[in-house]
Amino acid sequence: MNFRVGFGFDVHQLVDGHPFFLGGVKLEADKGAFGHSDADVLLHALCDALLGAANLRDIGVHFKNTDDRWKGISSLILLEETMKLLTEKGYKVGNVDCTVCLEAPKVNPHIPAMQKAIAAKLGIDEDAVSIKATTNEKLGFIGREEGVTASAVALIYK
């Protein structure tokens, strides 16, 4: 079997009154991530991890922020398109491990819904989707609630 591992990272600015999508789930929040698509930082990091593992470059190559096709689009669709690219190269996903870093809102209550949404798009069991959340202990732009980051690791195989 051919195993590969990829790493992804993403960051988005938080903006007052903007919707906040995380892991394919809309969260109730005073601020939301801003970007060309729905700015789902967790799914963007995950797409990058998957693409990197398959040596398919990164999310910006496939879903340019200058292309109106992707404007405002759900990042679940970007994840679906990423999986099509992996499938074309003969890969399947083994498991993924993701971490999101932000001060608010609390993420833990939403993790089961995120796992379900992601597992469905990846074609794997929810148990193979790990999502963790942490704060930045009030330090830096994350601590000031100006932004959110996410990182992800993905194992793929043929």
> Which residues contribute to the annotated binding site for a divalent metal cation?
10, 12, 44
C-alpha 89/C-alpha 78 separation (Å) is 17
Q: Which residues are annotated as a binding site?
A: 10-12, 36-37, 44, 58-60, 63-67, 134-137, 141, 144
97 beta partners: 130, 153
C-alpha 78/C-alpha 131 separation (Å) is 19
Classify the phi-psi angles of 23: left when phi > 0, otherwise alpha if psi is within -120 to 50, otherwise beta. Answer: left
Query: What is the dihedral angle through the alpha carbons of 143, 149, 153, 156, rounded to the nearest 10 degrees?
Result: 160
